[in-house]
Amino acid sequence: MHSDDTHRLATEDGEMHPRLVHTITDRFSMANTYIINEEQMIIVDPGNDLNVRQIQKYLTTFLQRPLSHIDLVVLTHLHSDHTAGVEALRRVCAAPV
């Protein structure tokens, strides 16, 4: 299990701040999914159904947030390794795509 410090960044003076952008890499296609965790939670390129399960595990384990907290899903382009998980996400959250 990761420590909380892996999800925080230090400034030059050593002050710790929460990481706002998290990356999940699909090791098969090498496509990245980005989670922007600020006031709103944004998922960029959700990948395939397996990635959606990884997103869910990451959100609940490290960010303590359910998939239903996703506010927006962004697709950078329409290749299936970036978009195939959209329908799986739509079943669990009402975020616009």
Domain range enclosing 29: 19-92
8 located within any domain: no
- Rg of the Cα atoms in the chain: 14
Dihedral sign, Cα of residue 81, residue 9, residue 73, residue 67: positive
* Structural domain includes residue 14: no
- Is residue 86 situated within a structural domain? yes
Kindly state whether residue 3 falls inside one of the protein's structural domains: no
Structural domains counted in the chain:
1
pLDDT at 4: 45
Give the residue carrying structure tokens 């925080």: 8
Q: Which of 24-52 are b and which e, b meaning 16 or more Cβ less than 10 Å from the residue's Cβ?
A: bebeeeebbbebbbeeebbbbbbbbeebb
Q: Is 97 part of a structural domain of the chain?
A: no
Distance, in Å, from the CA atom of 24 to the CA atom of 7, rounded to the nearest integer, reads: 13
In a domain, 2, yes or no: no
| Residue 4 included in any domain | no
Kindly report, residue by residue over 46-63, the tens digit of the pLDDT. Answer: 998 888 999 999 999 999
Q: Is residue 41 part of a domain?
A: yes
pLDDT, tens only, 4-60: 445 555 667 777 667 789 988 877 777 899 999 988 999 999 998 888 999 999 999
